[in-house]
Amino acid sequence: MSKLKIHPTATRGRIVHVTPASAGWKHVGFDLWALKAGDEAVGGETGRESCLVFIAGKGHVFVEEKDFGVLGGRNSPFEGKPWSVYAPGGARWRVVAENDLTLAVCTAPGEGRLEARVIKPDGLHQETRGKSTNTRHVTNIIPEWEPAEGLLVVEVITPGGCTSSYPPHKHDTDNLPHESFLEETYYHRINPPQGFAFQRVYTDDRSLDETMAVEDGDVTLVPKGYHPCATTHGYDLYYLNVMAGPRRTWKFHNAEEHAWLLKA
């Protein structure tokens, strides 16, 4: 298996654990929790902020002394917008599952300068990008125009048979205003779940060039390079993106040989 693909090895508790150290980079962390009613997920590290995304199910959320009540509600990431919670750097958080709960925890460096807050689904910005077989539907959870110290968090649904993160683009060079350096994780889900999709991660010089078949629940790492996805006919692809880097802005560079597609 590729070192860039992580498949959960458990079915309950914290089933995915990506840290900067395990990924070999400096900024992005990603955990996935699968809980039954009454189970708890806990976290919060000094110097790291968190975004808790309710992929499916409900949970009672506490951040330090604040009780945010029971949040969540959708049964699948393919059903509407998510509930999320922002926890500032150093803040301890706890989620107690009300039912079967899938919880994503996105982290990045943060000094704790902001307040904890609930990110409600009805306030999320959505957009459709591309057209024809390059159509995808984007839900911005923590885009760069919303407050955070390092995190950028977004959900994308790509209809069956379509491409996404395409034409291929990269954000691995600190060259603003043209391009920003951002590490990135993808958390993939497939509908129906027995399907699969593909993701390629590659650089111009091909010193990194890996193509992965991704299945329901897989996490992929994008340390650098281009990273397009394609899903197969009959199977919709959902992914949750987490990005962070030395500067909190998303500026990308399209692969020059494929840029013509933007005008086609």
Number of domains in the chain: 1
Contact 53, 82 (CB under 8 A): yes
Instruction: Take residue 90 and report the two structure tokens written for it.
Output: 């150093």
**Which of the four pLDDT bands, split at 50, 70 and 90, describes residue 167?**
very high
pLDDT digits (tens, 9 = 90+) for 187-200: 999 999 999 999 99
Q: What percent of the chain has pLDDT over 90?
A: 98
pLDDT digits (tens, 9 = 90+) for 98-149: 999 999 999 999 999 999 999 999 999 999 999 999 999 999 999 999 999 9
Q: Report the C-alpha gap between 68 and 65 in whole angstroms.
A: 10
CATH number, domain with residue 52: 2.60.120.10
Mean pLDDT of the chain: 97
pLDDT at 2 over 90: no
Is the backbone of residue 61 left (phi > 0), alpha (psi -120 to 50) or beta? beta
Contact 202, 159 (CB under 8 A): no
pLDDT at 1 over 90: no
Residue 194 burial (CB count, 10 A): 9
**Could you tell me the residue range of the domain that residue 33 belongs to?**
5-262
Question: Nearest-CA neighbor of 218 among 2, 4, 1, 8?
Answer: 8
Q: Report the C-alpha gap between 92 and 86 in whole angstroms.
A: 11
Q: Report the C-alpha gap between 134 and 115 in whole angstroms.
A: 38
Residue 172 burial (CB count, 10 A): 22
**pLDDT score at 174:** 95
Residue 13 burial (CB count, 10 A): 13
Q: Report the C-alpha gap between 102 and 57 in whole angstroms.
A: 6
